[in-house]
């Protein structure tokens, strides 16, 4: 049996943070025996565009799951709330519509320092957490499918 294949959708906005999230996600997928190739990493302009890209990737049928990585840092306007809510709702909607794990690795922080802390390559790296959630959910769905066929 071949290892499941996963994709990563990553926002180009806040690259100093998303780069750390990507490193964490890649390490986590590799540790689970499902390394992600460069060809399976897709960029989005920002977090708001992640749901559409994730849904398109899930609909290809090539991927057992998609980890979405991004960072939205609160500013002085309501923009933060709209982008954060839109990304979260969109990723949930895409996951349910495609019945594919789409993991939420989008940081929504109040400060750049909080974002940096959550993107470091250690136990608190949210990219790692998103990749782990994606792998675990895909495994649960495979188990459910096996039970249904018995």
Which residues lie below 8 Å from residue 146, measured CB to CB, with a gap of 6+? Answer: none
In the chain, the DSSP E strands lie at: 6-11, 41-44, 65-73, 102-109
Q: Are 123 and 22 in contact (CB under 8 A)?
A: no
Catalytic residues: 79
For residue 130, give both structure tokens: 């998103």
Ramachandran angles phi, psi of 45, nearest 5°? -60, -40
């Amino acid at each position: 049996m071949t290892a499941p294949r996963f994709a990563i959708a990553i926002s180009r906005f806040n690259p100093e943070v998303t780069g750390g999230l990507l490193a964490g996600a890649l390490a986590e997928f590799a540790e689970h025996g499902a390394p992600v190739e460069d060809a399976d990493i897709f960029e989005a302009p920002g977090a708001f565009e992640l749901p559409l890209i994730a849904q398109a990737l899930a609909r290809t049928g090539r991927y057992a799951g998609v980890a979405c990585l991004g960072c939205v840092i609160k500013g002085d306007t309501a923009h933060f709330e709209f982008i954060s809510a839109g990304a979260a709702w969109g990723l949930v909607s895409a996951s349910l519509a495609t019945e594919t794990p789409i993991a939420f690795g989008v940081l929504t922080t109040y400060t750049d320092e909080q974002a940096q802390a959550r993107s470091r390559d250690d136990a608190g790296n949210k990219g790692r957490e998103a990749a782990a959630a994606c792998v675990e959910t895909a495994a649960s769905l495979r188990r459910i499918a096996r039970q249904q066929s018995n």
